[in-house]
Amino acid sequence: MTDAATGTRHVAFDWGGVFTVGTFDGRSTQNVADRSGIPVERVRDSYFRHVRQLEVGAWSLPHFWDVLRSETGVALPYEDFEPLYLGSIHDNAPMYDTLAALPAHVRVGLLSNNYPVVSDHLRRDPRFGRFDALVFSNELGHKKPSPESFAALETAMGLPAAQVAFVDDVQENIDAANRAGFHGLLYHHDHHEAFEKILSDWLRG
């Protein structure tokens, strides 16, 4: 921990539902259904039964797609699926503005239940250069709300959890963050201006 970080407050974020509008999984399954003509319920049944394998890094994205194709009858090849999947990201632009405007002394982390290929895509995004620590469940092997995921975030940030606000759109994850010693802040994109004030007030201490 650096002297500059000692005694100051910092922040870490979730990705889906915070830096995106709505759920990535819902949009991606709908896009697959629309492209393939397969009923979305059939796509989602397979997708949500197996997506944990992606989240903890047990399966590659091509393997996940092979299983989903075999169960649903979707004929789309992986080479067409990957850009469709990545194209399902709908950025929450105001949160990226908030990220860029954070004071330089504030350390910034990310803890996301995420997937192979998607996490690599995010790392290549120049806006993610503002993050000091990126923790993805598919690389860690544990997903929120597990204690292991929040312990990994604390380690990656190099700060005591009590000095870090954690922003997520799911109450279960906020509860887990609070148990781990973080200061949980529940987020919804419809109330972004109110959130900005709450975060700014907390960072000022």
**Which own/partner pairs from 36-42 qualify as long-range (CB within 8 Å, at least 24 positions apart)?**
36/72, 36/74, 36/75, 36/76, 38/72, 38/73, 38/74, 42/72, 42/73
> Rounded to an integer, what distance in angstroms lies between the CA atom of residue 183 and that of residue 133?
17
Q: ∠141-142-144 over CA atoms, to 5°?
A: 150
* pLDDT per residue of the chain (205 residues) written in tens, 0 to 9: 344 455 699 999 999 999 999 889 999 999 999 999 999 999 999 999 999 999 999 999 999 999 999 999 999 999 999 999 999 999 999 999 999 999 999 999 999 999 999 999 999 999 999 999 999 999 999 999 999 999 999 999 999 999 999 999 999 999 999 999 999 999 999 999 999 999 999 999 8
Evaluate whether 109 touches 12 at the Cβ level (below 8 Å): yes
Cis peptide before 94 (omega within 30 of 0): no
Range list for CATH 3.40.50.1000 in the chain: 10-22+90-204
> Rounded to an integer, what distance in angstroms lies between the CA atom of residue 34 and that of residue 170?
27
Evaluate whether 73 touches 66 at the Cβ level (below 8 Å): no
The model's pTM is 0.93
Domain 10-22+90-204, second-level architecture: 3-Layer(aba) Sandwich (3.40)
Question: In this structure, which topology does domain 24-86 adopt according to CATH?
Answer: DNA polymerase; domain 1 (1.10.150)
Which token pair is 91? 């950025």
Range list for CATH 1.10.150 in the chain: 24-86
